[in-house]
A and B are shown apart, each in its own frame.
Chain A
Amino acid sequence: MPSLVITLCRCLTLRRYYLLVLAIGYSQLEAISAEVVANIKPADEAPQIEFVRDVVPVLTKLGCNAGACHGSLQGRGGFRLSLLGFDPATDYEQIFKAARGRRVSLASPAQSLLLQKGTAAIPHGGGRRVTADSSAYEIIRTYIAQGAKPIAADEPQVVRLQVTPPDAVLKPGEQVAIQVNALYSNGSQREITPWALYDARDPQANEVSPQGVIKSLRAGKSPVSVRFSGHVASVAISSPLGDAKPSTGFIGRNYIDDLVQAEWQRLGVTPAPLADDYTFFRRVHFDLIGTLPQAEEVRAFVASTDPAKRQKLIDDLIQRPEYADYWSLKWGDLLRVHRRYVGDKGLGSFSSWLKRSIRENKSLDKLVHELLTAEGNLYANGPVAYYFVDQKPEELAETTAQLFLGVRLQCARCHHHPMEVWGQDDYYGLAAFFTRLEVRDTGERGRFGGIQSLRTADHETRTLQRPAQPRLFGSIEAVPSQGDPRKALADWMVSPSNPYFARNFANRYWAYLIGRGIVEPIDDMRATNPPSNPALLDALASDLIKHQFDLTHLVRTICNSSVYQLQAELAPDHDKDGQLFTHRVPKRLPAEALLDAINQATGFQENFTGTPPGTRAIALPDPTIESTFLATFGRPPRNNPCECARESSPDLLQALHLVNNNGLQSRIANPNGRLHSLLKQNPTERELAERLYLSTISRPPTEAELNTIHELLPESPTLVEGWEDVLWTLLNSPEFSFNH
């Protein structure tokens, strides 16, 4: 071990095999192992402290510029800092210039209000953030003592963070100290481990100390994010659930199965068995066409001995008209197809364009390109509606990023995204593509006045809150400004070189079909929210690109995998949240599919106001059609492009509505309904029970269930009432309202 000359030292930390030098003013060296002999002396002259490089990270680490403190948009106690230090120039002004410079004393640094408040030497709403013997304090004090050197124009910027190790496998209880280096624009690098911010994605899975020591708390997989100076990274922490198992009896059918299985083996978990035909049949119906299968269909499928019957079923369902209805519903939520934005006629053109695109299996790149470059008459050209749902360039930027890139950019409207690299330049660079749009009145009368037509002007028609040139996302070069700039955006958006587009849709479709995204939440892709299986996401994305963005190919590939066809586990003892895809996670049916299923099972024809009789809920063009049921079960009002806008969790009102709603009872007891029609045929108890089970939960009753029914039926005053109660029970069972 060579002797060390410490130039900057107050707290020395022994970190693996090297000493990390943290700050000025050495006092005492502790905890150095016997072999290490360090020759440590305080430097005669402390090195120059820089505001951006040294001071801002300290303020960030101490929490001074957090959103709840001075980083709030309004500041706190008259003192405002930029959120997490993303705007150092303003921070410098605030600290050293604003309030007539009263916050610092160059002559007597320790007497500076900044430090006095921070140490709570004088009352501070935020309490004591720092002690006078800490390195953080020393950095700020020294900076002031050195004259608070202003920010130099050429001060190096952080370009990237380097985290070692980038991932780790830890047993519960084990820990790892990570090291974070910042790489600067001038080629230099420094270790910044003590000053980075750390967050465990799931605090019950991992614990992370402010010094970057990560401890695994339980088996599973969960990332820890690292943030420093507007840059982010994440460390994947896996904690095996058992020993690696070489073979599980699982038979893979395509690349999905191989990649998922590799992860199971790494983490030592076994998958659930394949689902039986009844379960598979019901699942794939709900996933692909949002529709409960009929009893006869169930029977026929189970009876078939064709070894390729599952594959054929998937192909058949994709051809069904309900496929277009159901996927238009999903896309309609995303694109916010709603007459409030485009009027009745605009709704017609938008929703029929969408449904036609899905029915004709328009490729994803074509569909999105049409949306992004749309122009002309709103009532003749559906995709033009995209520019009526949002009109402000800022909102169009947010929607475009979230829908097509899977990136939530909203934060960057006002400040640098706290969990991403995206800043206001990225935000307004994207918004600038939408500043030349012009809506013109064609003179013809429509519901909201004249019929509207969209075109691109040769000048800016809409101004941004912050002026910017159009820039492709993640690039620093402006797009040349001839013609319609949206063309360049659309071309880039759907090109295979766009790293976000295919991954975003691969993840969405995976989540729609499997019940959980590889990235979750599914439309929040960012460095601090890594995929649970990166290789799988990459493979799905390249497959999508390789197949010319054919979405039905993606659907087929996923549904034909063994992973898709695994049995559900209600109470898994490993992989509890399903992120390793070892089993199916049951999910409540969407409002529309559930209402349709109840109507089908009870033989009731719903009449929605203003639609032809027999229109199904999944085929409704927009949510203006009133329905207490749909509202209760989370139909989104289509005012938010977030996937989270559809409420899918159960609640009390839903339970009350299914248990005790008059409407449900009248459907069950309807003399012309399914149950009473069946009763008129004088079926045996077994026949009727089988029929009801197959037409609700898509499987026959077990012998035990038949016995229970036999035992409970006589408790009712009449047999009819008893059977009504059986049907009510089936409709209220979780096996009915969940897709599993």
Chain B
Amino acid sequence: MMNFQKSMADCQGISRRTFLQVGSLPLFGLTLSEALAAGTSKRGGKDISCILLWTDGGMSNIDTFDMKPEAPVEYRGQFRSISTNLAGVQVCEHLPRMSQIMDKLCLVKSIAHTESGDHVAATHYMLTGYPQRPDTSGQPVGSTIYPAFGSLLSRQSGWMDGMPPNVQLGHRLNYGGAGYMGSTYNPLAIVGDPNANDFRVEDVAISETMGVTRTARRQRMLSRLDAWQQQVERSKGPLLDRQQFYQQAFDLITSPKAKRAFKLDEEPAELRDRYGRNREGQSALLARRLIEAGVRFVTIATGGWDTHDNNFNRLEQKLLPTLDSAWSTLLIDLEQRGLLETTVVICAGEFGRTPRVNGAAGRDHYAPCNVVAFSGAGVRMGHTVGKTDSKCEQVVGRPDSTVDYAATIFKLLGIDGSREYRTEDGRPVLVNNGGQPIAEVLA
């Protein structure tokens, strides 16, 4: 089985069609789902997972991890900096828990791009590495929308332990999907709030009224009454794809493992408290449970960071305390479970914010400076890469491009950046167009 998958991965990548045919080859006598489950059922050294903590809107870098206490007051803002468990490193006073685990972060201050104006274009940069030109309403356009990191990992590595490879928690992100690769590699989006009492995963969790028994009965009835089934099994194309996705869907909704992964009440109340009894905190906890169950890439979209006005109050009252609890607890929890050795945790947003405070006590978009944090598998933690000038206006020295940033993520996740895929209209596109991993990030 492994050899088979390997030989397929050596050519143009595992196309969906070829991929699905793995399951339908009688040679193996496996259904697609069994093949998927069998493919990498045991997490090997190469199976690196990832949690992307996305600060949607753009977190203020100068108020958090790149503070400039010596700068004039209209730059440095009103927050004080505090010492951390790393000598010489200071962070915002409203990140007390993070300040005690700075040895688990690699802070990168050298990543810059040019899209200060537009959230959507900037998001595309930071979720794919590539530039993109959105239309006037910020919708993606053009024939080449690039796949986000999670979709690439999905395509390269597929399902593990019967769990879908790519899950997105929180609101939908523009460009957070599979782009030209097609909807097969889109993340499974979970929009429900994991902090809500009645949290259930729409379309995945079986409702009480339906129940597992009736669902199984329906599945049986469908397989008995589907007049096309036998012929479709010998076919190729969308009909066969549909059949395979139905199989996956039934496997997922009836999987005790998936069901359990979503049951946050199995966790000790004290731990849930530490993550934070809010959407972001419980999403981080859910992300950990999903990774444990076999999901490869979890994106947690946290919103509210676009602080054009009232920046300081918003950061102090909600954004920073929420992030501080969720992120720090996640890193400690992963480490205690040994998962930090196989999981990369990234905290990033589309850009930083203007170093000079505006008239509305806010900060605007600013792409020349940003802070991205890496932790976990393969990361050289406990230091800072790159430096900004005294007012946080420019990177000092050579900035790293988003292509390099993407190359770094690919390196950490074992994604082959030199692989070439084809868009629907046949244009060859490299996974990563010539980026170099940022060496100092790598362990």
Contacts and interface: CB of A to CB of B under 8 A. Distances in A.
Contacts of B140: 639
Contacts of A733: 222, 225-228
B72 interface: no
Contacts of A728: 218
A652 B164 contact: yes
Interface string A544-580: 0000000000000000000000000011100011000
B203 A570 contact: no
B283 interface: no
Nearest to A340: B137
Interface string B205-241: 0110110001101101110111110011111111101
B242 interface: yes
Nearest to A69: B434
CB-based closest 10 A-B pairs = A655-B249, A571-B235, A650-B242, A639-B139, A570-B231, A340-B137, A656-B203, A571-B234, A655-B245, A651-B183
A461 interface: no
Contacts of A341: 136-137
Given A571-B234, A652-B164, A734-B239, A705 B225 contact: yes
B186 A653 contact: yes
A577 B17 CA distance: 13
A481 to B, nearest CB: 29
Interface in A656-684: 656-657, 659-662, 665
29 contacts: A68-B428, A68-B433, A72-B433, A74-B434, A341-B136, A408-B143, A570-B231, A570-B239, A639-B137, A639-B141, A642-B143, A650-B242, A651-B183, A651-B245, A652-B184, A655-B242, A655-B246, A656-B204, A659-B250, A702-B227, A708-B224, A712-B221, A716-B217, A721-B214, A725-B217, A725-B218, A733-B222, A733-B228, A738-B239
B226 A734 contact: yes
A95 interface: no
B440 interface: no
A201 to B, nearest CB: 8
B8 interface: no
Interface string A324-358: 00000000000000001100000000000000000
Interface residues of A, number: 62
Nearest to A641: B141
A495 interface: no
A737 B164 CA distance: 24
Contacts of A524: 425
B227 A705 contact: yes
Interface in A721-740: 721, 725-726, 728-730, 732-735, 737-738
A732 B250 CA distance: 12
A660 B204 contact: yes
Contacts of A732: 218, 222, 246
Contacts of B243: 734
Contact of B245 (A586, A587, A652, A729): A652
B403 to A, nearest CB: 9
B222 A729 contact: yes
Contacts of B224: 708, 712
Contact of A655 (B139, B248, B433): B248
Given A729-B225, A732-B222, A732-B246, 8 more contacts: A340-B137, A576-B236, A644-B424, A650-B241, A716-B217, A725-B221, A729-B218, A734-B232
A640 interface: yes
A112 interface: no
A645 B429 CA distance: 18
Contacts of B238: 586-588, 648-650, 738
A660 B249 CA distance: 9
A654 B141 contact: no
B269 to A, nearest CB: 29
B206 A660 contact: yes
A734 B239 CA distance: 7
Contacts of B425: 408, 521, 524, 644
Contacts of B74: none
Contacts of B434: 72, 74, 76
Contacts of A652: 164, 184, 188, 245, 248-249, 252
B47 interface: no
Contact of A640 (B141, B189, B221, B228): B141
B141 A729 contact: no
A410 interface: yes
Nearest to A411: B427
B117 interface: no
Contacts of B246: 655, 659, 732
Interface string A34-70: 0000000000000000000000000000000001100
A662 B207 contact: yes
A729 B143 contact: no
A698 B206 CA distance: 30
A647 interface: yes
Interface of A: 67-68, 72, 74, 76, 340-341, 408, 410, 419, 521, 524, 570-572, 576-577, 585-588, 634, 637, 639-640, 642, 644, 647-657, 659-662, 665, 702, 705, 708-709, 712, 715-716, 721, 725-726, 728-730, 732-735, 737-738
B228 A735 contact: yes
Contacts of B393: none
B171 to A, nearest CB: 13
B430 interface: yes
B29 interface: no
B232 A570 contact: yes
B214 A637 contact: no
A4 to B, nearest CB: 41
Contacts of B193: none
A637 B430 CA distance: 26
B309 interface: no
A519 to B, nearest CB: 12
B273 interface: no
B389 interface: no
Nearest to B189: A653
Given A639-B137, A640-B143, A651 B184 contact: yes
Nearest to B144: A410
Contacts of A588: 238, 242
Contacts of B226: 729, 733-735
A441 B338 CA distance: 64
A651 B19 CA distance: 14
B183 A410 contact: no
Given A642-B143, A655-B246, A708 B225 contact: yes
Contact of A340 (B139, B204, B231, B253): B139
Nearest to A201: B426
A274 B210 CA distance: 42
A228 B326 CA distance: 58
Contact of B203 (A74, A650, A653, A709): A653
B335 interface: no
B359 interface: no
B232 A647 contact: no
A649 B241 contact: yes
Nearest to A402: B143
B143 A660 contact: no
Query: Which of A72, A640, A647, A648 is most buried by chain B, counting CB atoms within 10 A of its CB?
Result: A640
B147 to A, nearest CB: 14
B143 A651 contact: no
Contacts of A702: 227
B142 interface: yes
A422 to B, nearest CB: 14
B224 to A, nearest CB: 5
Nearest to A66: B428
B304 interface: no
Contacts of A586: 238-239
Interface string B179-196: 000111010110000000
Contacts of B143: 408, 410, 640, 642, 644
A402 B225 CA distance: 43
B420 interface: yes
Contacts of A715: 217
